[in-house]
A and B are shown apart, each in its own frame.
Chain A
Amino acid sequence: MNATHHHQRAAEQSPGPSHFAGNVEMDNVVLKVNNLKTYFFTRRGVVRAVDGVSFDLKKGECLCLDGESGCGKTVTALSILGLIDSPPGRIVCGQINYDGLDLVQCSSRQLRKIRGNDIAIVFQEAQSALNPVLTVGDQIIEQIKLHRPLNYKEARRRAVELLAEMGIPSVERVMNYYPHQLSGGMKQRALIAMSLSCDPKILIADEPTTAVDVTIKAQILDTFRELKAKRQMSLLFITHDLAVVAEIGDRAVVMYGGKDVETAPVSEIISNPKHPYTAGLIACLPDVSKATDKLASIPGTTPDPLEMPPGCAFHPRCDRAMAICSQQQPPRVAVSGEHKVSCHLYG
């Protein structure tokens, strides 16, 4: 029995995105974002931070939201949780379907029950995401007590278990530590432990590897991979780093200018990118097998969110742009079963 158990573990931990993609059933969708538009009404004009994003998050998969900073990844995540500062921000259209509810239409009371309980989020910088004047333990216990009918002692025990599970040493001591007494990696783990405290069905990770150094980054990616395998949780992983996508993602949504431009399984995205922007991103990945003086880059800069180019937002930077690209928004086309792209080249 011990041997079979061991085998199972090994099978679960075997790397490679294709493994998980194969397990995912087609209609096993836990979160469906449909034509989401979140605008910010500022004095200088309307910022269309998210301008028509659609994707499905399936049970037990890791879906990566990928794109440059300012492309609307984080705003998408905050929209899902109903955490857009209003004013100036507002979800102007679209649906976010979760568990039979449309989160866009939910009351703040309904949303509060879902936040931290069904859908949790881990922010980029653990240093600033933890409250500096409350102990790590208190911050975790607070969340557990909010969503679970446990008393302080039980909640504390649960918090200790979670921290231990995240591989934090001398947990009882760390519970009474304030954030500044922990190292960067420990803070990030404590934050992840906190987000997991109520067994969320969906975990959103907003660039959790950006603010840490390379070794910690590898550890944190391992942690997420293990969590997903162990907890059958859906992971919405936000990153600007395609290397991270390749490492952890099952499927990826590439975003540009507030829109999803290409959605496909990660292996497809890497080996057969359709959208010129995705292709450009992949061409930019450094290839260690070739000696080179210069890294490739996509010409031009991210468009000003106040003045998005008409038609396809990417056309000014696109080397395959056609006349139609500056006039019409490209439709979303399925190039194969799970591979969708918004580009006139395939229209």
Chain B
Amino acid sequence: MRKSWLRDYIIRRLFYSIIIAWGILTVTFILVRVGPSSPADRYLANLAASGQDVTQVIAAIEARYGVDRPIWEQYTDYMTNLFRGNWGWSFSTSMPVIELIKKHWIYSFQLILLSSLFAAFLGILIGIYSAVKQYTKADYTFTFLSFIGISIPNFWLGVMLILIFSVKLGLFKTYYDTTLPLFSIENLKALVLPVITLGTGMLAAYVRYTRSAMLDNLRKVFVTTARAKGLPERIVIGKHVFRNALLPLVTIILFDLGSIVFGGAYLTEIVFGIPGLGQISFKAIFANDYPVVVAVTLIGTLVVLLVNLVTDIIYTYLDPRIRYD
């Protein structure tokens, strides 16, 4: 009742989201097709070796996959199918795209979820500590470390971690073992290095964001009011200051979830051989498996749009001053 305007706002935003998703889908669809490559390319070497007529076979394969038709026709076809819930056929893995995604999404999800939790939890704690202890040795140390953390490219970090902890020390396997059951200690252990790889950059960023958001609020008069009430420092910092610092933090954390995480997660999956969406998308690009590439991009788009919407809604609860009408 209090937020009746919020429902209208959500409906409006969902409508915009559909338009944006459609736009991105169209651009992706066109981009992957304008290149000179074809899904038949990967057969070329074999074909040439066996002395067959290459052009004829390519034409046959393209006809089979339907990529010989005009691009406009393929586009309308794809969109109609998508609208009906049919995500297309993956040429390279010979299965429906939707089946492929169902099989692999969980690997990306667990990696992103664990990395975000790890980064947000530790980053916020360190950030708060750093702000409260501003200009102490601890603060300088954390600020310096976070600067390094932000600067390290995560694919390099992943390779270094494997070299040190897997190859030299033998603490972990050098690749991700897909045979492990998802909800097991072994699986968690297998994810330690990938989570550190993906989480470190975010962690460092969250330390800095939290520190500055806390510092912005620590010297405000309402903090002195809170102390003058007789509240213990734990509540002054944890409730009065942090609630105010949370506003910019939520935006950044959830926004990162949409952007940094997706790029970073794909690279991390490839480095550690985790069969997630990044991995299949990566392979699909080299196999010219258009439907998979477009589908994975679409999923990424939808997640980002959804997360942004959720951020805006959470915001209205965190900051009572915000209204979107």
What is A's interface to B at a CB cutoff of 8 Å? 78, 81, 83, 112-117, 120-121, 123, 125, 128-135, 142-143, 146-147, 178, 180, 191, 194
Question: Does B59 interact with chain A (Cβ within 8 Å)?
Answer: no
- B55-114 residues with Cβ-Cβ distance < 8 A to A are none
Question: Could you list 18 further interchain pairs (A-B, Cβ under 8 angstroms) beyond the known A78-B224, A123-B224, A133-B319?
Answer: A81-B227, A83-B227, A113-B230, A114-B230, A115-B229, A115-B230, A116-B228, A116-B230, A116-B231, A123-B228, A128-B222, A131-B222, A132-B319, A134-B243, A143-B230, A143-B231, A178-B320, A194-B229
Least CB separation from B222: chain A residue: A131
Least CB separation from B225: chain A residue: A129
Residues on A with C-beta less than 8 A from B247 are 133
What is B's interface to A at a CB cutoff of 8 Å? 220-222, 224-232, 240, 243-244, 247, 318-321
Q: Is A130 a contact partner of B243 (Cβ separation < 8 A)?
A: no
Residues on A with C-beta less than 8 A from B232 are 112
Q: Is A142 a contact partner of B225 (Cβ separation < 8 A)?
A: no
Q: Is A133 a contact partner of B318 (Cβ separation < 8 A)?
A: yes
Q: Is B222 a contact partner of A130 (Cβ separation < 8 A)?
A: yes
What are 6 A-B contacts defined by CB distance under 8 Å? A131-B240, A132-B244, A133-B318, A134-B243, A143-B230, A194-B229
Residues on B with C-beta less than 8 A from A113 are 230
Q: Is B244 a contact partner of A131 (Cβ separation < 8 A)?
A: yes
Least CB separation from A85: chain B residue: B219
Q: Is B321 a contact partner of A131 (Cβ separation < 8 A)?
A: no
Min CB–CB distance A148 → chain B (angstroms)? 11
Min CB–CB distance B132 → chain A (angstroms)? 12
Q: Is B221 a contact partner of A128 (Cβ separation < 8 A)?
A: yes
Report the Cα distance A101→B291, complex, angstroms.
78
Residues on A with C-beta less than 8 A from B320 are 132-133, 135, 178, 180
Report the Cα distance A114→B231, complex, angstroms.
11
With most chain B CB atoms within 10 A of its CB, the pick from A131, A146, A194 is: A131
Residues on A with C-beta less than 8 A from B230 are 112-117, 143, 146-147
Q: Is B229 a contact partner of A143 (Cβ separation < 8 A)?
A: yes
Min CB–CB distance A89 → chain B (angstroms)? 13
Report the Cα distance A133→B247, complex, angstroms.
10
Residues on B with C-beta less than 8 A from A191 are 225
Residues on B with C-beta less than 8 A from A115 are 227-230
With most chain A CB atoms within 10 A of its CB, the pick from B220, B244, B320 is: B320
Min CB–CB distance A67 → chain B (angstroms)? 21
The 8 closest A-B pairs by CB, nearest first: A116-B230, A115-B230, A116-B229, A178-B320, A128-B221, A131-B222, A143-B229, A112-B230
Min CB–CB distance A69 → chain B (angstroms)? 16
Report the Cα distance A116→B229, complex, angstroms.
4
Least CB separation from B241: chain A residue: A131
Contact of B231 among A112, A120, A178 (CB under 8 A): A112
Residues on B with C-beta less than 8 A from A180 are 320-321
Residues on A with C-beta less than 8 A from B244 are 131-133
Report the Cα distance A81→B247, complex, angstroms.
30
Q: Is B221 a contact partner of A129 (Cβ separation < 8 A)?
A: yes
Q: Is A146 a contact partner of B231 (Cβ separation < 8 A)?
A: yes
Q: Is B228 a contact partner of A83 (Cβ separation < 8 A)?
A: yes
Given contacts A133-B243, A133-B319, contact A121 B228 (CB under 8 A): yes
Report the Cα distance A191→B226, complex, angstroms.
12
Given contacts A112-B232, A117-B230, A146-B231, contact A131 B319 (CB under 8 A): no
Least CB separation from A197: chain B residue: B229
Contact of B225 among A123, A135, A178 (CB under 8 A): A123
